[in-house]
Structures are given as C-alpha cells and as structure tokens.
A and B are shown apart, each in its own frame.
Chain A
C-alpha cells in the first residue's frame, strides 16, 4: 500500500445531522426522547477520499467527523437527552473499526492526526457521561472488531448479542501487526479493569471473544440472545436515564461557523488564523468580546451560538483542526489575543457564578475540550503577550497551554495578564490538573498566589512564574523573530516529541496514557517495516502473501 502523494482537498469539520451520510441520530419515542440514539450505517462508497471502500461499517475521518458533530449537538441542542445509545444500522455487524485500506493509503502524518481526532471523540463520549450526565450504552447487534470495539468500550456499558457468531475483538496485533490505536488497550485494563493476562489473551485472538466468555472476562456487561437484545438494551437505557444527573436548560442551536477563507488566512468572527508557509509559522489570534455579552444563563441561552464563549471557542477548535490536518508543514504558531481584558473577565465571572447551570456547564466543558485540543496539537505554540492583548482568565489558558510565553516589558504601555475563577480548576488538562497546577508542580503554593492576585504587569508576571522571556520594547521584535526562526528550523519530529513530553507533567490518567503511551507506540509501529515495509503485515493485509517479520525485539 503506497502512500498517496496527491494533494487532497482540505478537510472541513463542520457538518449537520441533515447532511450525515454514515450516521443516523434520533430520539426514539420509547424513551420519551430522553435517549439519543446514534446508529452507524456507513455508506461503503462514500469515503472521504477515493481509493478505498468502507466495507462492514468501517470508518474513515468523514465518519468520525459526523460522530463528533452529533455528540456536540446532543450536548447543546438536546438538553432533554439523559442517555446515549450507540448502535449499528447494519444487520450482523456493529463496526469493524478504522478502514485498513484508508490507513494504508494515508500519509503518516494523516494517520497520526486521524487517530488523535478519533481518540478525542471517544473521550468526548466519556466526558458526556462523567460531566454532562449523559451516560452511554453500546448495543452490539453484531461483531465489534478493532476500532469498533474501541468505540463500544468508550461507552459506560456494552451489551453484545449472543448469537454464536457476534464477537468483540482486537485483531490488530495478530492480523495487521499494529495496535488497536484508539485507546482500546488502555481501556481494557484501566477502565474495565480486566486482568492483564486476559486482556493479553483477548488482544491476540484475531476472531475475538463471544457471548458468555466475553461477559466472564469483563469485555461486555451482558450477552443476551439476539432476540432479547432490544429488551436488554431498553432496560439498561432506562436505568441510565434514571441515574442521569443532567440539568435542564433551554436548547441552543449550533449554527454554522462563518469563516472567510483565503489562501493563507482564515477569518472567523473572533478568531483569525494567518499562515506564513515559507517561514513555516502561523498566527492564531483570538479576540475578546466586542459586544455586550450575556450576564445570566437565560441571556446566554438567548444569545445561543453567537455568545462569545461559545462562538470564539468553536472557532478556535475549527482553526486548531485546520492547522493539524490542512497545514502539516506549519511548525510554530504565535498565540495572540486582542481586545478588552475586562470583557473576557466579565464572561468568565458569569460562567463561574453559574457553573452549575446546565448550559453554562456545557459552555465550560466546550472550552475545556478546545483547550485540550490545543494541548494535543503537534505545533510549537509561543504566546505573545503585548500591549492590547487580553490574556486573562479563559484566554490566559491559551498562554498556559503554549510552550513558551513571551511578555513584552514595555516602558510606555501597560501589558498585563490576569486570572479568573476559570483558571482555578474548571478547565483541567488531560492529567486532571489545571494548567496552573501543572505549571507549578514544583512550587504548588504559587497557584493560589497567582489566583489571588489581580492583573499582573510584566515584571510581576515574571516574578509569579507566568512568563518565559520578557524582552523589552527595543529587543522585542528581534527576539521574537529569532525565536520563531530558530524554532521553525528544529526537527519537527523532535519538537513534537519534546513538547508532548513537557506539556503533561504530573499524574497519569487514562487519557494521558492513551495519548502519551498507546498513541506513541502506535505511531512508532506505524513507521516500522514489520507493519508498513514491503513484507509488513499491514502492507500485505488482504493479499495472498504472508508477512515476514524482522524478529529482533527492541
């Protein structure tokens, strides 16, 4: 399988249930609309790119973009939903995972980004359960293999039809010489807490495990006869609905983002992404609110998707994905903010004050997800704090998520940063710590000190530990130019590995393990001859020849 070198059309991440090709989102009457049902029914010939057929409910990025969109809409547009059902629209197959031929024909960078995106989406399912009161059930009416079982295992509960043939399986290692790369291995032992020896056995049995044994090993929660699957599914969903802690609110509609796109610039309402392809750098600029923002949850519901807190972060999310998928050679991104710090702090204050409101909760979670997306984006981020910028509260998180913070030490103009209650743990990273806590692991007392202080001017911000370098007016331009040139000249692989290693200090979580360990190993394996060499297992999959391995273990 040769990598395609042809230029693809840019990937876009916006869609709408009306346009879904591969999923059906509905709210069955039997649960009074309290259950969102997502049925996967992949159209074989509607892959995002030519060259592969999406057989057996296998997925590509296009399929996953629809899933991610559906989850987001359930959150904001369907406050009545109290549980999620993931199932299949096909008869004897739940989902067979990521399409192998799609992977084989993709560049390494695309594969890595594809896996990252699907991983994020699986985590969103878990976050819905943990944070939004929307627990989930995977109802497997047929085999769930590879990424299919990984989708199931992202749900709180799994039921599998016991029909003598439907199985759950991880055939990646035995069949393809790679790993189930969407968190599956980690979730076996960390989430479902399956014994490591059983997990080991399961992960090397290509045909998987069925029925009773799947229940015994903890791979699924229940395996009723096929005829009873509907009944069991309903019973379990009723229980999930009953335990849901979801808070009611007035739904809002996620309207399409407005983006003016030209060759090297995308201008959204609050976010601008400006590329310098030759220098391999970009500017990511986020503006503070310029109009009056909602002061109560009711006003927020009324403002809907045009409220700054929602719009700006949706735009930022889109820009980050654009950077990841469509601009692989951009290496260094300057993170800039522009506008009135007070306007940002006012939004934050409102959100913090009403953080227990259902809608406000979703807005904060949206911010949290977008910031995590930034943490996981393989670009060097340098935040530039200058006169006129507004790195405060929720936008200060952009600086804290950056690899370095440059703050101008200006004689004539005021330059400040400030915290808000949102910096105090409402926007945690994958390690479950706030960015301030992660930053100050060595001196934890600094966290509360910074949170208690008001706006900090450059020298105080330096003393507080918030600033990497603080060039003055005279040095600024040169220092910044050189910093970017220098960074852009370093090996992109080394930078990706270095940044990923430095960004996530502190405790491990399932999430950090998925991105830091499983993904790293998977990305390594994806490069190795045993997978993608001429005689590699992934290369020869579906062909008559057997793979031949280099037997040396590292």
Chain B
C-alpha cells in the first residue's frame, strides 16, 4: 500500500486496504486535497498544534479521539455508520424493497448530482471561513473553528468516497471538480448561493454554523433515508459531526446574547447606541444577522414546488427527515397547502405532496431553528431585557423558489420594490452594521486566559479541559 493512502493515514471502516479502485482514486485525489487545504483552508495557523477530535473508528469511543495535531496532518477518515440489517427502502415507489448496495444505472446521474451538490457545500464553508482565525474572540473559539473546518474537510472526503467508489470515471472527475470550485469566485463559484456569501466575522460564523450547518443536518437526515445504502450510511455518520457544528453556532450566539443582555442590565444600557458604545453587539444587529443567515439558509432547501424533489422522493433517492414518523410513505395522494403569489396577492394553493417535499423538509428545519431561538430569548429574558429575537417569515429575502424576485417584510407582507429598498437596512445588516461588527473583532485574542469583550465565556471547556486551556499552541 502507498505511503499516503493506507489505513493509518486514512482511518476508515470501508476496507480501504483491499479496495484497489478506491486506493488508486485516492492516490490521485489526496495530494490535490492537501494542496487545496493549504491554499483555501484556514489562512495561517497551519503549523500550530490544535487540540482536535479525530474520528478513528465508528465505535462510541473511536469517533472522538482527542489530541494535538497540526491541521495538514489531520487524519481525514472515511466512515460509514454500521449497516442496518435487512434494511428496506422506506418511502417512494420502491417502498419495502431491499435497499441498493450498488447504484442502479437508471438513477446514476441523479444520485451523482445529489452527492456532488452536498459535497460542494463542505469545502465551500471552509473557504468562506478561512480568514476568521485572525479575529477570533478566544483560543477556545479558535479551536472550535478549526474543528469545524477539518470536519467539513472530512465531510468532503465522505462524499468523495461515494463518488470514487460508485461513479467510476465521472465520479473521479466530479471529485476533482469539488477541489476546483471556489466560494465567491464569479468564474467558478460553489454550486449553492449561501456558500458563496462572505463569512468574515464571528457573528456571521456563529449564525452560519447555527442556520446553514442546520440546513446540512436536514439534508443529511433526508439523505440518510436514501435507498442507496452507502449514501445512507455515510450521511448517518456525518450527522454526529454536524451536531457539533450546530453546537458551536448555538452556543456562540447564546454567549453573545448572554454578554450583551448581562451588560445591558448591569450598566443600564437601554438603546443600541449605548450598547455599541460599550463595545458590545446590540440585539437589533443580532436580529439583522439572524434575518440574513436564516433567509440564505432557507434558500438551500430549493424551490417550494419542485419536480426534482418529487422525482427524488418517488425514486427513493432522497426522503423526508425521519421518514418513520410518517404514516403514508408513498405520498402519492396527499397535497400540501402553501402560500403563493397570484395577481399580486398571496393565495393558498394545494400542491401535490411529492412536489412539496422541499417545503416539508423546510418545515422541519424551521421548527428546529425556533428551538434554538427560544433558548437565546430565555437568556435575554433572564436579565430582564425586553427584547425577543424572531425568525422572519419564510418569504422574507428569498432568492430561490416561488418568493424569489418578490419583496416581503419580515412578517411576510408583500412589499413594492421601493418599499423594500427604503426599509431593507432595518432588516438586514447595512454596510455600517458590518463595519461596526468587524471593528469589535479587529484584534484577535490569542491568550488562552482572555475572552473578547463582546462575548461571554462558554460554560465549560472541551473534553474536561478548562475554558482557558491552551487549545491552540501558536508557533510563533
């Protein structure tokens, strides 16, 4: 076996040692991945020792092995969740048939599309976040950023594994192309819109990991239902990592809310200017960032009425999150009532359920988001501050689907373009807001004992270590 592609360098449970095809594909791909990581991964810090979790097996202790490691030496592995014995297809036209261990030729192109689209988001987010290390609020947060980054890298590996193993030469070419596209590059952009948006401040990072990684969670849940068993097993394992990314987002926003509310109460600050003057992020600005990242993330679910979604469901490629909670797994007769714009007014329309599968998934996502927002609001309320963060209407600021090209306020009321232009800076971060947020983060905090002023420290450290543990050992 080669020196780069072996079981030690690439921890796996896919029998890499005896899979000649995979070895050969990875031998060509792995150096390009590393080159991509060095070019587009976290800017700087590559020689630092970072206290990272590495998955070395799928057992309960093996998936979370902690140690200091330099990021380029991180052991990106390939893991599938354990197979479910006698697993049957849980939805669609093939309901009840045995799951597929191989790609049926008939669905090869559609499956490849799904995997490539998912795979493309993984390196994209690393690219979006590559400058953040230089404005980190603490060493604890810096480490979390890198943990998310290396795991997004591993998610890329997971998708590339599928492409290499099941899609032949086309798959290898697609795997290569995943390393060629660049977030935000107009010439070779990442596939999905939200993954081309800049994410250059930590408030955005927390919002991103809360809202956008949560889209990832729901896509993975839907793919975990797939009739294509290797995809199902791959995504089930990825979900454990995704949970950590959302934890970073949820607690990050929570810590900012906590800090701002606590200071507002303590120092009796009662307007945004006073809050800002105290070097804190005002809650109004939090709401604007929430509005932005929530709406961008909603777009990731695709159009409300989608023939692709119907086909994916019918053919068993992509199901609903937690399909077992539904009774009718064929979804042939049902309809979904949604608001569409007809003659300049909102009108209720019944859409065949299969065509509304994106919306079904979006509903579950929204519900999940609301739970996090409620926690943030409880933290604010605990300090007696009369402010509530709110998820805007799903129609607000959309670029995909039936609401794209129309203008809505955060309550979901239809606006004219002029009304929108006049008000949008009240709802979305303005240039001045972004300037302000960045100004707070101008200086990174590399001293483990320190925490930036605008954020509260976390409740606890990682893997039993204290909060002020040296999670990143800087090489000067």
Residues of chain A having any CB pair with chain B under 8 Å: 469, 471, 474-475, 478-479, 481-489
Contact = CB atoms under 8 A, between A and B. Distances in A.
B21 A474 contact: yes
A482 B24 CA distance: 21
Contacts of B20: 474
Nearest to A475: B168
B169 A487 contact: no
Contacts of B103: 482
A482 B103 CA distance: 8
A481 B103 CA distance: 10
17 contacts: A469-B169, A471-B168, A471-B169, A474-B21, A474-B24, A475-B168, A479-B168, A479-B169, A482-B103, A483-B105, A484-B105, A485-B108, A486-B106, A486-B109, A487-B105, A489-B105, A489-B106
Nearest to A476: B168
Nearest to B105: A485
Contacts of A478: 102, 166, 168
Nearest to A332: B105
Closest 6 CB pairs of A and B: A485-B105, A489-B106, A486-B105, A482-B105, A474-B21, A475-B168
Nearest to B21: A474
Interface string B56-77: 0000000000000000000000
A471 B171 CA distance: 12
Contacts of B109: 486
Interface of A is mostly: helix
Interface string B83-106: 000000000000000000011111
Nearest to B19: A474
Given A471-B169, A475-B168, A481 B105 contact: yes
A475 B109 CA distance: 17
A488 B106 CA distance: 8
Contacts of B169: 469, 471, 475, 479
B439 to A, nearest CB: 55
Contacts of B21: 474-475
A518 B104 CA distance: 38
Contacts of A474: 20-21, 24
- Most chain A CB within 10 A, of B24, B105, B108, is at B105
A275 B9 CA distance: 47
Contacts of A479: 168-169
Nearest to A485: B105
Interface in B96-155: 102-106, 108-109
Contacts of A483: 105
A403 to B, nearest CB: 15
Contacts, number: 36
Given A474-B20, A474-B21, A475-B21, A486 B108 contact: yes
B304 to A, nearest CB: 29
A479 B169 CA distance: 8
A485 B105 CA distance: 4
A488 B168 contact: no
B105 to A, nearest CB: 2
Interface string B16-32: 00001100100000000
Nearest to B24: A474
A282 B106 CA distance: 17
A489 B169 CA distance: 21
Nearest to A482: B105
Given A478-B168, A481-B102, A481-B105, 8 more contacts: A471-B169, A474-B20, A474-B21, A475-B21, A475-B169, A482-B108, A486-B106, A486-B108
A459 to B, nearest CB: 14
Contacts of A485: 104-106, 108
Nearest to A486: B105
A58 B157 CA distance: 69
B173 to A, nearest CB: 12
B392 to A, nearest CB: 43
B109 to A, nearest CB: 8
Interface string B437-458: 0000000000000000000000
A282 to B, nearest CB: 16
A471 B104 CA distance: 18
A71 B74 CA distance: 76
A478 B108 CA distance: 11
A478 B164 CA distance: 12
A539 to B, nearest CB: 35
A479 B165 CA distance: 11
Contacts of A469: 169
B66 to A, nearest CB: 37
A61 to B, nearest CB: 34
Nearest to A479: B168
B142 to A, nearest CB: 42
Nearest to B106: A489
Interface in B30-64: none
Contacts of A482: 103, 105, 108, 168
Nearest to B109: A486
Nearest to B22: A474
Contacts of A471: 168-169
Contacts of A489: 104-106
Nearest to B171: A475
Contacts of A481: 102, 105
B248 to A, nearest CB: 39
A48 B332 CA distance: 46
A471 B173 CA distance: 13
Contacts of B104: 485, 489
B393 to A, nearest CB: 41
A416 to B, nearest CB: 21
A473 to B, nearest CB: 9
Contacts of B168: 471, 475, 478-479, 482
A418 B108 CA distance: 33
Interface in B387-445: none
Nearest to A490: B106
A469 B168 CA distance: 11
B227 to A, nearest CB: 14
A500 B295 CA distance: 49
Contacts of B24: 474
A445 B166 CA distance: 38
Interface in B254-278: none
A486 B104 CA distance: 7
Contacts of B108: 482, 485-486
A278 B436 CA distance: 67
A304 B434 CA distance: 90
Nearest to A481: B105
B255 to A, nearest CB: 49
Nearest to B23: A474
Nearest to A474: B21
A469 B166 CA distance: 17
B230 to A, nearest CB: 13
A424 B102 CA distance: 43
A87 B102 CA distance: 61
Contacts of B166: 478
A131 B303 CA distance: 62
B440 to A, nearest CB: 53
Contacts of B102: 478, 481
B155 to A, nearest CB: 24
A489 B105 CA distance: 8
B102 to A, nearest CB: 8
